[in-house]
């Protein structure tokens, strides 16, 4: 009964959500695309010809946006789940945290990358501090990978939850990058603890 009630509440929230309805009209796979659009509008991340790596890409709305705006760019999308094709995107099915998958990415791009972006999060437990720490570990994995593969002027974007590991991740970002900002898009739900860390220009 409790699960059915929770599912019903989630469905009702989805139906009322402006961004869910907008994503359907605009042809995007998830409402999360509008978070990336806001980040791009504020920080001017993507330029034509940009080489982008999208980790934890499924269901693919972030990759859809990048594929749409970068006519001469290249995009590599990685996720545990198999995704429907997106334009000319090169897709890798696998665990991003696996060293062999990271090597596959590096071998494919065969050059420095302009942007590494991650909307990865663990399946939430409902215990906010645990969710923050576990998602924070994914963010740190992606950041360490980004610092090794990014161009000097490159950018790293990642979901980050307020909580136990928040300050540690921001400090880690400042260790590797000259410019570090934390931003909560308007399209992020008010009751969500998520924000996004935007790191630019390697030290």
6: pLDDT strictly greater than 70: no
Query: Residue ranges per domain, the chain?
Result: 30-202
11: pLDDT strictly greater than 60: no
Structure tokens at 63: 């990759």
Residue 5 — very low, low, confident or very high, per pLDDT cuts 50/70/90?
Answer: very low
pTM here? 0.89
Q: What is the pLDDT of residue 88?
A: 85
The winner for highest mean pLDDT among 32-41, 83-92, 183-192 is 32-41
Round the average pLDDT of the chain to a whole number and report it. Answer: 88
Instruction: Determine the CATH number of domain 30-202.
Output: 3.40.50.150
Question: Which is more confidently placed, 91 or 128?
Answer: 91
Long-range (24+ apart) CB contacts under 8 A made by 25-33 are 27/64, 28/61, 28/64, 28/65, 29/59, 29/60, 29/61, 29/64, 30/59, 30/60, 30/61, 31/61, 31/187, 32/61, 32/62, 32/119, 33/61, 33/62, 33/64, 33/65
Q: What is the pLDDT of residue 189?
A: 86
* Residue 159 known to be catalytic: yes
Structure tokens at 170: 């921001």
82: pLDDT strictly greater than 80: yes
Average pLDDT on 165-185 reads 95
Average pLDDT on 77-95 reads 93
Residue 131 — very low, low, confident or very high, per pLDDT cuts 50/70/90?
Answer: low
Question: Which is more confidently placed, 1 or 174?
Answer: 174
90: pLDDT strictly greater than 70: yes
124: pLDDT strictly greater than 80: no
The winner for highest mean pLDDT among 1-5, 14-18, 109-113, 121-125 is 109-113
Of these residues, 88, 159, 186, 190, which one is catalytic? 159
Residues of the chain with pLDDT > 90, as a percent, come to 69
């Amino acid at each position: 009964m409790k699960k059915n009630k929770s599912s019903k509440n989630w469905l009702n929230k989805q139906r009322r959500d402006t961004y869910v309805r907008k994503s359907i009209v605009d042809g995007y796979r998830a409402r999360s695309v509008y978070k990336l659009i806001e980040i791009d509008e504020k920080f001017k991340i993507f330029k034509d010809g940009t080489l982008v790596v999208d980790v934890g890409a499924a269901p693919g709305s972030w990759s859809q946006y990048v594929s749409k705006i970068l006519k001469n760019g290249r995009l590599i999308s990685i996720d545990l789940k198999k995704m429907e094709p997106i334009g000319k995107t090169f897709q890798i099915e696998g665990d991003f945290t696996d060293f062999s998958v990271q090597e596959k990415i590096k071998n494919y791009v065969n050059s420095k990358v302009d942007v590494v972006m991650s909307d990865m999060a663990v399946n939430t437990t409902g215990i906010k501090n645990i969710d923050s720490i576990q998602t924070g570990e994914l963010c740190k994995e992606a950041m360490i990978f980004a610092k090794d593969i990014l161009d000097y002027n490159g950018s790293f974007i990642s979901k980050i939850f307020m909580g136990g590991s928040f300050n540690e991740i921001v400090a880690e970002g400042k260790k590797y990058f000259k410019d570090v900002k934390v931003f909560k898009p308007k399209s992020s739900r008010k009751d969500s603890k998520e924000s996004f860390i935007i790191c630019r220009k390697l030290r």
